[in-house]
Amino acid sequence: MNRRQMLVRSGAAALTLGLYNFPLGWTAAADGAKKRILKYTRSQGFQHDCVKRMGGKLSLAETIVTELGAKHGFDVVCEKDGRVFLSDDFPKFDGFLFESQGDLTAEKSRDGTPPMTAEGKKRLLDGVAGGKGFVGCHCASDTFHSKDHYKGKAFYTHPLAERDPYIRMLGGEFIRHGDQQKATMHVVDHKFPGFKDLNDFQMHEEWYSLKNFADDLHVLLVQETKGMKNFDYERPPFPATWARMDKKGRVFYTSMGHRDDVWKSPTFQAVLLGGLAWSLGNVNADVTPNIKEVTPGANQLPMKK
């Protein structure tokens, strides 16, 4: 067991977060099996404050997920070292929770950690397709970009074959964002785990503008763009949280997760716990594709100015 894992399991890195009155998003496995999650937060080009480690302690986001696991009965291993995907420990994970950023195979990173190799990336994608769960928060969609993403075509919808394999797995890709601001999330499916008592809500967040949506998304939260400032959102409402199947794997993504107060929010935690429970196979849900019905203008992108 390495030092990071010891910090996670001992709770030595815990912060005073007010983690009481947990939202009812988690559903345990029917057979009582305790699931094991890898929370991966390597940041290549930009590192969000919520995943920064200070003084050898786990970051805010890592600590919250670890304490949620301790509360609800799932194990969390927090890692920034890309070598974990080729380790003997890798097969023991039931699922992955990413708040990563950039090209994770690049040698240099903001957190100074070893990269994921091309073989490690393939092992991750094969693991998800083979049945492991995957949950992505916020900048997980700003990871492994498609061809020419930063060469003047960020507002171009890529043909499926030109999308990075990771993006094809995730189901959508970050374009850019405007100013942090309050925006409305419309709840589409109250039957999905964690969404039962969730109504339309507003949240102050760094809202992503997204593209390259998979055709089979089961959209859970729709980004209301009306009234938002900055040209990034001059487009019809689009998917902001979704679930989809990647062969045998269950994939869940939410664009929320930039701000510390969002991570501490009961609403966000309910969404996250529901996504984790579903992705790990603890609970089933109807994820019939609905992107064309609930966000018919999703692929209409903002005009670059």
Contacts of 294 (CB under 8 A, 6+ apart): 188, 219, 222
Cβ atoms within 10 Å, residue 209: 24
State the Cα–Cα distance between residues 275 and 277, nearest whole angstrom.
6
State the Cα–Cα distance between residues 25 and 79, nearest whole angstrom.
24
The reported pTM is 0.92
Give me the pLDDT at residue 247, please: 98
Q: Which residues pair with 187 in a beta bridge?
A: 221
What residue segments make up the domains of the chain, in order of their start? 3-294
- Which phi and psi angles does 237 have, rounded to 5°? -55, 145
Are the CB atoms for 242 and 218 separated by under 8 Å? yes
pLDDT along the chain (305 residues), means of 10: 40 36 72 95 96 95 97 97 97 98 97 97 98 98 92 87 97 96 97 95 97 98 96 96 98 98 96 98 97 97 78
What residue has token string 């301790």? 70
Give me the pLDDT at residue 24, please: 63
Give me the pLDDT at residue 20, please: 37
3-294: CATH superfamily: Class I glutamine amidotransferase (GATase) domain (3.40.50.880)
Reading the block at residue 56, the tokens are: 């050898």
